[in-house]
Amino acid sequence: MRAFFSDGTSLEVTEHTAFTSADTAIVGLVDNEAVGVAQGGPVTITARYNGLSATARVTVTEPTLSSITLSPNGLVLTKGDTGQLRALGSYSDGSSREVTADAAWSSSSLSVCTVNLGLVRAIGPGNATVTATLLGKTGSANVLVEAPTLQRIAIVPPNAVLRPNLIYPFRSYALYSDSSAREVTTASVWTADNPSVAEPINYSGYWGVWAKGVGTAEVRSS
């Protein structure tokens, strides 16, 4: 605040001025600065110095949303997995707060992923953009869904006691990271470490093990 004198000079007198607010529930005063407490106004602020006074009217408005940022800015998931995105809103007064629950969420490809309140569920391989929208502002993140990876191959039955000179059916299954399984009996390469005892053979389009002699053998599918 400046005081102006009759000789045309002026002086900064803020530190020596008494300030009051007509409604401290809306506009407070901290170290001679007006601070918005709640939305409302206008509120009259009065400054008194050396028997003179001046007034100003202050209106407090809600800060406006400037932008939305998603965290993390990208997800890499495997089919069947889930991942959480969070939306952070930045406001005109420099503040920020989480708006995950307030935003409207969408996915650019529902065959790749779905999203609900920031929780992303991987549906199938591919890329999609997940968007959070609030009060006309949007934030987005890329989601990459990878195909499930092969974990191991299981043979059924895993152990067997066979009678010589007979052929027994065996099956092999590929087990994937998303807990799915696929039969790969005819697509696999079958081997045995002791073919004089047990030999994998293809009969009528199906794989089986020919028990050729007495002993122990390990059969593999790869």
The answer to whether residues 172 and 110 belong to one domain is no
What is the domain-level CATH number for residue 108? 2.60.40.10
The answer to whether residues 137 and 180 belong to one domain is no
Q: Do residues 174 and 153 lie in contact, with contact meaning Cβ atoms separated by under 8 Å?
A: yes
Give kind and range of the element (H or E) at residue 40.
Answer: strand 40-49
Number of structural domains in the chain: 3
Cα atoms in the Cβ-side hemisphere of radius 13 Å centred on 73: 2
At residue 154, the pLDDT reads 85
Residue 119 has pLDDT above 80, yes or no: yes
Given 18, 36, 60, which residue is the final one in a domain?
A: 60
The answer to whether residues 102 and 51 belong to one domain is no
The answer to whether residues 50 and 106 belong to one domain is no
Given 126, 146, 166, which residue is the final one in a domain?
A: 146
| Amino acid letter, residue 25 | A
The answer to whether residues 54 and 76 belong to one domain is no
The answer to whether residues 95 and 28 belong to one domain is no
The answer to whether residues 181 and 156 belong to one domain is yes
The answer to whether residues 51 and 107 belong to one domain is no
The pLDDT-based confidence of 156 (bands split at 50, 70, 90) is confident
At residue 113, the pLDDT reads 96
Residue ranges making up the domain that contains 45: 2-60
The answer to whether residues 157 and 212 belong to one domain is yes
| 5 φ, ψ (degrees, to nearest 5) | -105, 165
> How much of the chain, in percent, has pLDDT values that exceed 70?
98
The answer to whether residues 117 and 174 belong to one domain is no
* Cis bond before residue 169 (omega within 30° of 0): no
Mean pLDDT of 58-77: 92
- Counting other chains too, the contacts that 123-126 makes at CB distance below 8 Å and 24 or more residues apart are 123/79, 124/79, 125/79
The answer to whether residues 197 and 214 belong to one domain is yes
Given 130, 146, 162, which residue is the final one in a domain?
A: 146
Virtual torsion, Cα 139, 69, 39, 47, nearest 10 deg = -130
> How much of the chain, in percent, has pLDDT values that exceed 90?
35
The answer to whether residues 201 and 165 belong to one domain is yes
Residue 1 has pLDDT above 80, yes or no: no
CA distance 198 to 214: 9
- Is 62 or 119 the better-scoring residue by pLDDT? 119
